[in-house]
Amino acid sequence: MGSIAIPAPHSLIMASLKYGADMSERVYPPVIKTALGVFKVLNTKFRLEGTDRIPSTGGAVLVSNHVSYLDFIFAGVAAHPAGRLVRFMAKKEIFDNRIAGPLMRGMKHIPVDREAGASSYAAALKALRGGEIVGVFAEATISRSFTVKDIKSGAVRMAVASKTPLIPVAIWGPQRMWTKGRKRRLLQRNVPVTILIGEPMHPKRGDDYDEVTKDLRARISELLEKAQREYPEAPKPGEKWWQPAYLGGTAPTPEEAEKLDFQEAEARKAARLEREAREGGGA
């Protein structure tokens, strides 16, 4: 089953040595070792299941749920026991950041420009066909409800076009450290983090991509619910915000979260139009 209970990430650090010797990877291995060193100091309590489902060679599309701003790190941890690096697709704005940008490029992640999606898709296909694992957060944004939002068929289409498997992943726990609408609590100690890897899917040409996408979402949702129900800690008084509503938490329901996302998108659109009008007026 590939189940691993890790009180401290020593075995992950050892696994990172498998690819640390690759001199073409000058940025990614040191970043990983630094992150795992921090987790050790903070006594982050990892639970990984299904690690044997990550292929040791060849391309794959790793599709994870999205509950925190730290999910890139933890979804990547899923592939560490196999000695694999994950190239995540991430919004272009992160690459424009003066600090994060050089790191993202050094780790060979893939920028996503929503106004030029074809180039991002092409870059992901090139990586997959070159034997890389490409990481996708198919919900596009963090789920405020801590359930799996509707997802698009892009991950399925990439897997079919590159003839690589889809690997569903669920993450639970990092939302306690840093999520949308909450202050960062990056130095919390003893936080359990659950990472569950599902059975690979093998979609092919001729399949109904929308149906495969529904199946993918259902599998991620099942893994996430398992992670949530089996999580070793319950929220303390005043901490129920990180628990989904269906388990008695105070996180927004999926319907409430959808409304909040819409309001945020509208506010962002209005701000962009105002900025463009201001810049245009000053030209």
Q: Tens of pLDDT along 134-165?
A: 999 999 899 999 999 999 999 999 999 999 99
> Which residues in 18-39 are b (16+ Cβ under 10 Å) and which e?
bbbeeeebeebbebbeebbeeb
3-class secondary structure, 280: helix
pLDDT tens readout for residues 40-71: 999 999 999 999 999 999 999 999 999 999 99
Expressed in percent and rounded to 5, the helix, strand and coil fractions of the chain are 45, 15, 40
Q: Which of 172, 169, 168, 222 is nearest to 192 (CA)?
A: 172
**What is the pTM assigned to this prediction?**
0.90
% of the chain beyond a pLDDT of 90: 83
Fold of 4-252: Glycerol-3-phosphate (1)-acyltransferase (3.40.1130)
User: CA triplet 271, 139, 217: central angle to 5 degrees?
Assistant: 160
Name the residue ranges covered by the structural domains of the chain: 4-252, 253-283
